[in-house]
Amino acid sequence: MKSLMKYLKHYKKESVLAPLFKMLEACFELLVPLVMANIIDVGIKNRDVSYIFRMCLVMILLGVIGLVCSLTAQYYSAKAATGFGTALRNDLFRHISTLSYTEIDKIGTSTLLTRMTSDTNQIQTGVNLVLRLFLRSPFIVFGAMIMSFTIDVKSAMIFVVTIPLLSVVVFGIMIISIPLYKKVQAHLDRVTLLTRENLAGARVIRAFNRQKKEFEEFDKATDDLMHVQLFVGRISAFLNPVTYVIINAATIAIIWIAAIQTDRGIILQGQVVALVNYMSQILVELIKLANLIINITKSLACAKRIEAVFFQQTSISDGTVSAAGEKNTESEYALQFRNVSLQYAGASEPSVSNLNFSVRKGETVGIIGGTGSGKSSLIHLIPRFYDVTEGEVLVDGTDVRQYDLKGLRKKIGIVPQKVVLFAGTIAENIRWGKQDATEDEIRQALQIAQAKEFVDAKDGGIQFKITQGGKNLSGGQKQRLTIARAVVRKPDILILDDSASALDFATDAALRKAIREQTDNMTVLIVSQRASTIMHADKILVMEDGEIVGIGTHQTLLAECEVYREICQSQMSKQDLGA
């Protein structure tokens, strides 16, 4: 939690004024029992109505001043806590954005969602409560004890015994609760994961009639969360009854001893009432403190989880070579792989190994292979979504690890295998590729991507609103828009990762032709399961079990590569094979 306190640095004034005004409120509250004692011992004893009236006005004045102080403290604490939460959430989001695929895979998306939302909100609530109550409650407790000594030392010794005993109970339960709240948050991660998967995959679940199974899994996860929460809740709830027992026993002891002191004429009846009021104040404040400690315990557990994300540094560091807007004219190769291997974190063996090939500038290269052969792993190494385990990947003759990430990724346009569109207009989605793209550039990109016809038919054209995830578009339309998004930036290297799988053969052919004819010497890598999509490429890479088993043209591979020949024979007629 200490490392997160830096987010309060812009709210130093609020962080000081909030507890200060709470302390002022507490001071006025501690004076109330003394005023009450004077009403009893002076006003009622002497039947002085005017004195009683004056003292009642003093009590009202103390209450009004205390209320103003309390509202001021509430305002400043809420302002500081909200600002703290905003700064923390923004910084956490920014940090997560810097993590590579390796770290995101390791932590888990559902866990990151929980830490961005539930955990951050819990810490924000904890900061708010600490600023308001953390100093006030102890101040009232010890202030009441000190004030009791001004009334009667012998009676006040009950406070001296009671307060340490209560402290042991409160902090003992806090120590037990902290690790249990970590378990609660871990179970919450599981519930978040299931919720996310079920909402995202609702159609698949219904298509396979898996609703009952998913209900059972979700019920089990929520039951596990409930049982852990109930267990830690019972321990936390144990705090209040124990506190009540100790306080009430102390109150009985005070009345007993104070009665004896009154009988001896050492103290007056009003002072006995004041002592009981001070003990009641301690009871109320300790209940507040108990609830505060429960919230602090939750907040500390959440803070440690968020700190763990901040401590997780990206395994991909920025290089020093600027790549933005520059083309290396010395190297004839746009892309080179030299003895490249990649092993994912936690994997027992490499996903791809010993990859060696070169791609000249302006070439179109097809990459084909069975599922799990390592095609996507290969292309993820080019924009440094993952870093190579061995070897080196060169873009324009320079190792990609030497480029700054922003510049490197500006040179590359990638259309991922999984289509991702964002809520907004078609134009806004296309401008993800180039923020300052003009309307003409957007329309040209749509034309190359074979999307212009259906976009023009939409209500509003490029201003047509896409719903979240592109639910109001077909699979082929979404793929073509993602291709347009990559093409609009006019990258040096365009990577199409099986991004035409939803297109018919005619549209697929027209797309490849448009990319070849309407782009300025662009190097294109096409990953596909279809032999017909890559058969006209300048060069074809055939992959199997993470290795390249063939490199060449369509005709060369048909004659020399058995794997490629089998793929083509399973998909194409004899007439097409000779095309």
Is pLDDT of 246 > 90? no
- Based on the fold, state whether residues 395 and 262 are members of the same structural domain: no
- Return the minimum-mean-pLDDT range out of 28-37, 81-90, 185-194: 185-194
How far, in Å, CA of 479 to CA of 82, rounded? 41
Last residue of a domain, one of 249, 277, 311: 311
pLDDT in tens, 251-262: 888 888 888 888
Which is nearest to 500 in space by CA: 566, 373, 579, 415? 415
- Based on the fold, state whether residues 194 and 240 are members of the same structural domain: yes
What sign does the CA torsion over 151, 153, 159, 164 have? positive
How far, in Å, CA of 158 to CA of 246, rounded? 11
- Based on the fold, state whether residues 23 and 88 are members of the same structural domain: yes
What sign does the CA torsion over 92, 98, 103, 109 have? positive
Last residue of a domain, one of 311, 345, 360: 311
Residue 577 pLDDT grade (very low, low, confident, very high; cuts 50, 70, 90): low
Residue 503 pLDDT grade (very low, low, confident, very high; cuts 50, 70, 90): confident
Per the domain annotation, does 202 fall within a domain? yes
Is pLDDT of 427 > 80? yes
Tell me the average pLDDT across 513-525: 82
Q: Give the CATH number for residue 224.
A: 1.20.1560.10
Per the domain annotation, does 463 fall within a domain? no
Tell me the average pLDDT across 548-560: 90
- Based on the fold, state whether residues 291 and 359 are members of the same structural domain: no
Per the domain annotation, does 448 fall within a domain? no
Tell me the average pLDDT across 394-405: 89
- Return the minimum-mean-pLDDT range out of 287-301, 376-390, 541-555: 287-301
- Based on the fold, state whether residues 299 and 345 are members of the same structural domain: no
Per the domain annotation, does 424 fall within a domain? no
pLDDT in tens, 439-493: 899 999 999 888 888 888 888 888 999 988 788 888 888 888 988 998 898 888 9
Which is nearest to 8 in space by CA: 76, 81, 93? 81
Amino acid 71: pLDDT: 92
- Return the minimum-mean-pLDDT range out of 18-32, 238-252, 452-466: 238-252
Is pLDDT of 325 > 50? no
Which structural domain, as residue segments, surrounds residue 407?
333-411+491-577
Amino acid 235: pLDDT: 79
How does DSSP classify residue 437? -
Q: Between residues 133 and 399, which one has the greater pLDDT? A: 399
- Based on the fold, state whether residues 71 and 149 are members of the same structural domain: yes
Q: Give the CATH number for residue 375.
A: 3.40.50.300
- Based on the fold, state whether residues 280 and 407 are members of the same structural domain: no
State the total domains in the chain.
2
How far, in Å, CA of 232 to CA of 187, rounded? 13
Is pLDDT of 402 > 80? yes
Please report, rounded to a whole number, the percentage of residues in the chain having pLDDT higher than 90: 14
Per the domain annotation, does 162 fall within a domain? yes
Q: Between residues 579 and 231, which one has the greater pLDDT? A: 231
- Based on the fold, state whether residues 307 and 338 are members of the same structural domain: no
Is pLDDT of 341 > 90? yes
pLDDT in tens, 151-187: 878 887 888 888 788 778 877 777 777 678 778 877 8
Per the domain annotation, does 420 fall within a domain? no
Per the domain annotation, does 444 fall within a domain? no
- Based on the fold, state whether residues 204 and 262 are members of the same structural domain: yes
Phi and psi at residue 333, to the nearest 5°: -105, 130
- Based on the fold, state whether residues 353 and 292 are members of the same structural domain: no
Residue 579 pLDDT grade (very low, low, confident, very high; cuts 50, 70, 90): low
- Based on the fold, state whether residues 363 and 299 are members of the same structural domain: no
Which is nearest to 447 in space by CA: 484, 499, 494? 484
Per the domain annotation, does 284 fall within a domain? yes
Q: Please state whether beta strands 493-497 and 412-415 pair in parallel, antiparallel, or not at all (unpaired).
A: parallel
The chain-wide mean pLDDT, for the chain, equals 84
- Based on the fold, state whether residues 127 and 208 are members of the same structural domain: yes
Q: Between residues 578 and 5, which one has the greater pLDDT? A: 5
**350 contacts 433 by C-beta, under 8 angstroms:** no
Tell me the average pLDDT across 102-108: 80
